Chain A
Amino acid sequence: MRELTYGQGIKEGMRIKMLENPDVFIFGEDVGLFGGCFGVTSGLFEEFGEKRVRDTPISEGAIIGAAVGAAAVGLRPIPELMFVDFSTVGMDQLVNQAAKMRYMFGGKLKLPMVVRLPSGGGVAAAAQHSQSLEAWFTHVPGLKVVYPSNAQDAIGLMLTAIDDDNPIIYLENKTLYAVTGQVEDEVKPIPLGKANIKREGSDVTIITYGKQVYDSLKAAELLEKDGIDAEVIDLRSLYPLDKEAIFESVKKTHKVVIVSEEAKRGSYAGELAAIIADECFYECDAPIKRVCALNTPIPFSGNLEAYVLPNADDVVEAVKSLF
């Protein structure tokens, strides 16, 4: 075992595949010389050269679009947009092109591309640099969506994502980049659609991913003091979704709290709640709860931002409301 940061994990996953396959390459704004706005690609420009780690102009439409074209003819691009918020600028290429080409063309094309999108709030970056937009991507048939919470998963999911022949949205939480975690010496690819039970428990199921895994684990510790034994599931992959792991847990605990940083209205957390209500309703003996951000843009001022975003205490309170 060794210790790596989340950011280093993302990099390691890309690096392994770049060493293995000359068709894998990275491009995006400031990913080369500068090493990425959050330092994730640092050193790769020096190691692999400008051909495979390219700085692009500020042109999100061209970044995603060029990835689609390159993938369609056989390369395996890893485009990065600096913030998930800027995906709006490249959204046509993602939603109408990347997600639909294979289907529209009757299965004739493969689009192996991994779009890296730093997400989330908590860094005083205000409304246009702090969003959690996973529901937009999970909503679009044709895209797969992963969201690692730690270095080990960041590597394992990246390895799988790069080898996958479909467009993958790889969400990263920017407050986690410097968070260290234990990593196996040789990380194995993590299959998409396999959740990870971070903590076993018998009284309530907390379903989450990304940064909220940490909040939820903290909440579980606090709840233990009150005699509530919480199970915490880190989804890791939002689509495909590990329904089996969710239903197994619900059958055991009969109570569910879903935690995400999204604005609550129209969130993926809502989709998860709907799936459970739809397919596992009779196993629940309490309302399915969602702990999310308020339905506002993310404000700048620290106290407002903290007020809007969910935290561990919110999870504790939501769980307690079920007992």
Chain B
Amino acid sequence: MKISNETIIEMYEKMVKIRKFENRAMNLFAEGQVGGFVHLYIGEEAVATGVCASLRDDDYITSTHRGHGHILAKGGDMKYMMAELFGKETGYCKGKGGSMHIADATKGILGANGIVGAGHNIAVGAGLAAQYKGTDQVCACFFGDASTNQSTFHEGLNLASTWKLPVIFICENNGYGISVSQARHQNITDISQRAVSYNIPGITVDGNDVFAVFEAVQEAVARARKGQGPTLIECKTYRWRGHFEGDPTVYRPEGELEQWKKKDPIPRAEKYILDNQVMTQAEMDQLNKKIDAEVEEAVDFALASKFPDVASAVLDVYTDIVEEGRTR
């Protein structure tokens, strides 16, 4: 498949954006400026990027607890994300959600999610709505390897395949659910095999190769838009950081991380870009600088923003009812 230079550059930019955003978030957490549960996407950038490059603005995604990469890839704005990590009123969720619950309805981002497995069926619902209304929108559903042991995974695939819904199930197989390695949580190595039970295409791709992800998703999206139903795409990848910031990662065999760092998706894309003269080194450096500045701007924006007024705590529970605030 010939990928246009424009798309290649766009994907490279997205991956670098995610990496730099996550590195900054990591430092902010270490400095105690950002709290709560923070799950970073470093090392897995090619997955979200390769997937979202095949989506339109009006397509949907469902995300997970490890959502920053998905949101950036789908066009989320760094400023509002960063502000949400800080719990500021200018954040995507006005400070109510934090890292684990970022959503942007205007970009079809149906939310990062704190419940493992909750996205599978929400994605099915978004796909159902597209089919119901007769649009050709699709929904990409991101989820981890360990989430495929929830009943929701099986229920979602069954429903989507039976009703031929336009859902692309993207499994980010990073080999672990927190401390439990894949070999200890399921009796298979290729999660794409599970597609067989639902009679839908299931494929495994190198999740650290953004072009491989892109190609696989292009095909799945085309099928979905034509009403040919869902696809399960397993992307093999690895998270560089602990499960959450603060995780001592005692469960990792020695050398495993180093092996995976050699497969870093970003230098791999850079090599392709240089070899094929899509960009020059100088252009790439320029782009990196631009993104550095963008990340700093986002941090400045977050820092300059205010914490939400406490009166806002009782808003947004319902569309209409405002709950009672403190009398005290």
Contacts and interface: CB of A to CB of B under 8 A. Distances in A.
B250 interface: yes
A59 B313 contact: no
Most buried by B among A29, A62, A127, A301: A301
Interface string A60-104: 111000000000000000000000011011000000000000000
A58 B146 contact: yes
A128 interface: yes
Contacts of B95: 299-301, 304
Nearest to B98: A300
A125 B114 CA distance: 9
A126 interface: yes
B328 A303 contact: no
- Residues of A contacting B: mostly: loop
A220 B188 CA distance: 58
Nearest to A126: B98
B105 interface: no
A33 B313 contact: no
Contacts of B88: 301
Most buried by A among B35, B96, B177, B314: B96
B119 interface: no
A55 B177 CA distance: 11
Given A37-B178, A61-B151, A307-B326, A297 B317 contact: yes
Interface string B166-198: 000000000001111000111000000000000
B72 to A, nearest CB: 19
Contacts of A61: 150-151
Interface in B82-117: 87-88, 93, 95-98, 100-101, 113-117
A61 B35 CA distance: 30
A33 B186 CA distance: 16
B324 interface: yes
A30 interface: yes
B114 to A, nearest CB: 4
A90 B172 CA distance: 24
A183 interface: no
B3 interface: no
A301 B35 CA distance: 9
Given A124-B36, A125-B37, A295-B324, A89 B317 contact: no
Contacts, number: 131
Contacts of B117: 58, 89
A34 B178 contact: yes
Given A57-B186, A299-B95, A304 B310 contact: yes
A85 B326 CA distance: 25
B116 A58 contact: yes
B151 A308 contact: no
A182 interface: no
Interface in A264-322: 294-297, 299-304, 307-308, 313-314, 317
B313 A307 contact: yes
Contact of A30 (B37, B180, B323): B180
Contacts of A88: 115
A194 interface: no
A206 to B, nearest CB: 16
A296 B323 contact: yes
B149 interface: yes
B307 A303 contact: yes
Contacts of A34: 178-180, 250-251
A110 interface: no
A85 B37 CA distance: 15
A199 interface: no
Nearest to A311: B328
A303 B306 CA distance: 11
A300 B97 contact: yes
Contacts of B37: 125-126, 129
A7 to B, nearest CB: 16
Given A58-B149, A124-B35, A127-B101, A296 B317 contact: yes
A302 B313 contact: no
B201 interface: no
18 contacts: A29-B180, A55-B179, A56-B185, A59-B149, A62-B149, A126-B36, A126-B98, A127-B101, A127-B114, A294-B323, A294-B326, A296-B323, A297-B317, A300-B36, A300-B95, A301-B307, A307-B310, A307-B325
Interface of A: 29-30, 33-34, 37, 55-62, 85-86, 88-89, 123-129, 294-297, 299-304, 307-308, 313-314, 317
Closest 5 CB pairs of A and B: A301-B87, A300-B98, A301-B95, A128-B114, A34-B179
Interface of B: 35-37, 87-88, 93, 95-98, 100-101, 113-117, 146-147, 149-151, 177-180, 184-186, 250-251, 307-308, 310, 312-314, 317, 323-326, 328
Given A126-B98, A307-B313, 14 more contacts: A33-B251, A57-B185, A58-B147, A60-B150, A124-B98, A126-B100, A295-B317, A299-B95, A299-B313, A301-B95, A301-B307, A304-B87, A304-B310, A314-B328
